[in-house]
């Protein structure tokens, strides 16, 4: 049985540097997040499935568990 996923991640805005602790859904990817300080809409970087994989201190739960994620259900995430 795989270890439980970490569900909290610190998202850091690449525009203004604001960091906020956010709770990730256990079974889904988050494709958009609005920075609370500068209101920039964060989107995943090319090759990442979600904003947590791009800007978070912890990758999303599907990637932590080495499962396929929302971006492409037929392709396992990169290690």
Residue 13, pLDDT > 50, answer yes
Instruction: Note whether residue 69 is domain-resident.
Output: no
Instruction: Note whether residue 43 is domain-resident.
Output: yes
Q: What confidence score (pLDDT) does residue 29 get? A: 86
Instruction: Note whether residue 79 is domain-resident.
Output: no
Residue range(s) defining the domain that contains residue 40? 8-64
Supply 33's token pair: 């997040």
Q: What is the pLDDT of residues 15-72, one digit of tens each?
A: 999 999 999 998 888 999 999 999 999 999 999 999 999 999 999 998 888 877 765 5
Instruction: Note whether residue 33 is domain-resident.
Output: yes
Residue 71: exposure state from Cβ atoms within 10 A (0-12, 13-18, ≥19) = middle
Instruction: Note whether residue 17 is domain-resident.
Output: yes
**Closest by Cα among 58, 79, 57, 51 to 70:** 51
Instruction: Give the number of domains in the chain.
Output: 1
Instruction: Note whether residue 53 is domain-resident.
Output: yes
Instruction: Note whether residue 2 is domain-resident.
Output: no
Residue that the structure tokens 């995943």 belong to:
44
């Amino acid at each position: 049985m795989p270890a439980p996923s970490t569900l909290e991640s610190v998202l850091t805005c690449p525009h203004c540097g604001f960091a906020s602790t956010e709770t990730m859904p256990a079974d889904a990817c988050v494709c958009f997040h609005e920075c609370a300080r500068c209101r920039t809409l964060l989107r995943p970087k090319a090759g990442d499935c979600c904003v947590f994989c791009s800007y978070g201190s912890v990758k999303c739960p599907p990637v932590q568990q080495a499962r396929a994620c929302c971006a492409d259900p037929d392709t396992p995430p990169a290690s």
